Amino acid sequence: MRRLGRNLVGVIAILTLTTTFSYGQNYGDPVPLARTAAAPPSPSIWPGFGPTSAPAGPPGGPNVYPPAPPFVPNGRPGLPEYWENPIGSYGKYDYYVSVGWLGLKRQENDRRALFVRDPVTSDDDRPPSASAPVIATTRLPSPDFYSGVRWAMGVADRDAAYEFAGFVLPDQTKHFTLTLPGRISGLFVNPPAGFENLFDNADRVRFSFRHQLYSFESNYHWASAPSGAGFDYLIGVRYVDLQERYALTVEDNSIQVAPGPAETATYSTRTHNHLIGGSLGWGARTPILDWFGVSWFLRGSWFAYRADVDVELLRQDGLLGTRGSRSTWRFSHMYEIHVALELYFGDFCRIKGGYNLLWLLDVAEAANQVSLDLSNPQGNRSFGGDIFYHGPSVEIEFNF
């Protein structure tokens, strides 16, 4: 299923980029910023930015205005500002700031069996039967929605904008506890000295999964038609930081006998992905009414990234079973789709609510590093993890 999803993402990306370049070759010159008197009112793709004077005529000649209608009442909605105040000049820059809420649901981890129900309730130093039912996998615990903030700040210059943006989904840890006195046996092999019976006929296992995701980016936008509906093209650089930790704590005789540090151990894996690369994007904004419109945006990002992986098996009394770490450089990529509805409050404020789809491909996931060989200090050494996120967002933008 994941392989199918990756292929689908690749096809979408190729079609999107092909369409973009084809459109760019056949599309005419950008629509001038100055509207004609007959143009319908529509919010700018860079709200707040608009001409305040007539465009200049030929060198040495007078300024040229669009043909005036027979009667133009002062302040008539939808007409260019220079009809209301012919004496003025272009405002060279327009600044904007937006801030909002972002909620993303991470997909569940891969399903890899870890523990089975043992028919025997006491340590027998035997591996569980092959027919024993699986009662715990790396899919436990299931991630929930992660809530964070997103922001953008930039400056628009005619049909272009320079922007710094990003989002932060801070630490969130999910827990799950499995209790079945004497009946929980792990599928682990080669336990180090001092850990021989801890994963056999245990009483309780506590699972935890920690996740955090950051994104920081600097982009250059170009709008094909800043005054009204039009396409928005993006090129930029981006840094993404993904950190995860997967841990399971086994209590061997905490219920049948008594809790003890020598019979409690934690196996944990941690991954830290540092992704840096470039982005290409393509989208559009379509005003429907003076106060309402829709927008969509597609983007692909391609990264070189460093994956740091740490693996540890530690008994509660301090006895170290195994510990290892490694770092490696890899290639990763990410694709996003964002669709939104927009409310315009003049040229000063815009509120946008939408839904986001995000695929992060070929990264190191913490749960995938769990190795059933407890003597292996490097873990499973998996760097091909694919993560799908989806969720809503709401943001408000102010223009100055």
Token pair in block for residue 290: 């003076």
Tokens 């319908």: give the residue.
Answer: 40
Does some domain include residue 107?
Answer: yes
Does some domain include residue 56?
Answer: no
> 228: domain CATH number?
2.40.128.90
Q: Is 290 helix (H, G, I), strand (E, B) or coil?
A: coil
Does some domain include residue 7?
Answer: no
pLDDT at 140 over 90: yes
Residues for the chain: how many in total? 400
pLDDT in tens, 35-91: 333 334 445 555 544 433 444 455 555 545 445 444 444 433 333 333 333 333 334
359-373: average pLDDT: 96
Token pair in block for residue 164: 């710094």
pLDDT at 6 over 80: no
59-68, 287-296, 334-343, 362-371: range with lowest mean pLDDT: 59-68
Does some domain include residue 69?
Answer: no
pLDDT at 334 over 70: yes
Residue, of 173 and 124, whose pLDDT is higher: 173
Question: Within a 10 A sphere around the Cβ of 106, how many other Cβ atoms?
Answer: 24
- DSSP letters, 331-399, are EEEEEEEEEEEEEEETTTEEEEEEEEEEEEEEE--SGGG--SBTT-TTTT----EEEEEEEEEEEEEEE
153-179: average pLDDT: 93
pLDDT at 123 over 50: yes
Handedness of CA 131, 135, 138, 142 (dihedral sign): positive
Confidence at residue 48, expressed as pLDDT on a 0 to 100 scale: 46
In angstroms, rounded to a whole number, what is the distance separating the alpha carbons of residues 369 and 271? Answer: 8
Confidence at residue 174, expressed as pLDDT on a 0 to 100 scale: 95
Cα 216 versus chain centre, distance? 11
- 72, 73, 80, 82, 84 from 76: Cα distances, Å: 7, 6, 9, 12, 8
128-137, 268-277, 324-333, 355-364: range with lowest mean pLDDT: 128-137
DSSP class of residue 260 equals: -
pLDDT in tens, 111-121: 999 999 988 77
pLDDT at 220 over 70: yes
Beta bridge partners of residue 199, listed in sequence order: none
pLDDT in tens, 271-323: 999 999 999 999 998 889 989 999 999 999 999 999 999 999 999 999 999 99
Does some domain include residue 114?
Answer: yes
Type of residue at 394: V
Does some domain include residue 264?
Answer: yes
Euclidean distance between the first and final Cα of the chain, in Å? 47
247: left (phi over 0), alpha (psi -120 to 50) or beta: beta
Residue, of 106 and 400, whose pLDDT is higher: 106
Does some domain include residue 59?
Answer: no
Does some domain include residue 72?
Answer: no
Confidence at residue 28, expressed as pLDDT on a 0 to 100 scale: 34
Confidence at residue 55, expressed as pLDDT on a 0 to 100 scale: 46
In angstroms, rounded to a whole number, what is the distance separating the alpha carbons of residues 180 and 177? Answer: 10
Domain containing 315: what range?
93-399
Confidence at residue 213, expressed as pLDDT on a 0 to 100 scale: 97
Question: Within a 10 A sphere around the Cβ of 153, how many other Cβ atoms?
Answer: 13
As for how many domains the chain has, the answer is: 1
pLDDT in tens, 11-49: 455 444 444 433 333 333 333 333 333 334 445 555 544
pLDDT band at 209 (very low <50, low <70, confident <90, very high): very high
Beta bridge partners of residue 146, listed in sequence order: 104
Token pair in block for residue 249: 């704590």
pLDDT at 234 over 60: yes
Confidence at residue 53, expressed as pLDDT on a 0 to 100 scale: 40
Q: Does a cis peptide bond (omega within 30 degrees of 0) precede residue 141? A: yes
pLDDT band at 382 (very low <50, low <70, confident <90, very high): very high
